[in-house]
A = this chain, B = another copy of it.
Amino acid sequence: MPTTKLPVGVIGLGRMGRIYADAIAHRIPNARLVAIADVVQGVVQEQAELLEVPFATTDYRELLARPEVEAVFVISPTSTHREVVTEAARAGKAIFCEKPIALTLAETDAIAGALEQAGVFFQAGFMRRFDAGYAQAWAKIEAGVIGRPTTFKSIGRDPFCPNPAFADPAVSGGLILDMAIHDFDLARWLMQDEVKRVYAEGSLMACPELKAVGDIDNAVVTLAFEGGAVGDVEVSRNAFYGYDIRTEVLGTEGALQIGYFRQTPVLTLTREGVAYDMVPYIIERFLDAYVAQSQDFVKRVLAGDAPAVTIEDARRALAIGAAATQSLHEGRPITLEL
């Protein structure tokens, strides 16, 4: 049924962009990858051949000018989001934008304004919501399995120190915004409540090279929710053993734990003990979630449904991250203005 296939363009073909492009080209039955854009000529050419895309360009504006492109995935660097999304909105495209939408509330508001003016469909990327584990947890909370949530906990640990150039807070927003924004979005989504106050502590002990750019490698953040619940979020760069993503919600009738460790279903038993391997990194953990997220966007655009994750959702997660970062710098709890 070719008439129901959404013609999609992908802007930005870095590591994540190629994953989205591949998913749209091959994994999503009701989408068709019709155009790609990236500033690097070689990447554009290679991907165009590999994915057999009819239109490929180094100028995303050309992609936006194509009438057959009905929806775009904006996977370009965060610093370009405002411009690209604004242009895409003007061009009347349905828009998916990878997280983070922006590093400041002001920029987010500017994007929100452009979207509102254009009246286009916009969905923000928070792929964890589309992970089978997180989705099942949300459904169980919704179904009342754990009663009223009282406590939120989330851990996000990367398996290596980042390149200081990318960790530079001017580029990444700093450790908390860069990593914990996923956890802050989960906090809102799973607790079905808003965060009203945060307090953060941080340290730099494992990645000394980050000192030059003024970033830290470990942080803990406490959360107080509007409805009375509490929580804590921990992010770290030094889980050198693997990619460690876990969330818990405790409620008045039970608890849920989301996440897993073992990557390959093999247990090795020797005189040294019992051992197994660990999830290596984000793609091994969340590839299916990225595909499901893309599929969800396509389905909603085709059906005319509301977006699963709005610009306001993105704004609020950012607001929590910004407040936590402020708390870290000022050494005091920060109350959010909602």
Contact = CB atoms under 8 A, between A and B. Distances in A.
A273 B271 contact: no
B265 A133 contact: yes
Interface in A173-216: 197, 199-206
A133 B264 contact: yes
Interface string A247-283: 0001111111111111111111111111111100000
A138 B130 CA distance: 33
B271 A241 contact: yes
A160 to B, nearest CB: 11
Interface string A1-44: 11000000000000000000000011101000000000000000
Contacts of A325: none
Interface residues of A, number: 84
B219 A230 contact: yes
A217 B215 CA distance: 35
B275 A238 contact: no
A338 interface: no
A27 B242 CA distance: 27
A221 B234 CA distance: 12
A118 interface: no
Contacts of A265: 131-133, 258-260
Interface stretch (A86-94, A145-153, A163-171): A145-153
9 contacts: A137-B266, A146-B268, A150-B236, A151-B218, A242-B274, A244-B255, A258-B266, A274-B275, A275-B275
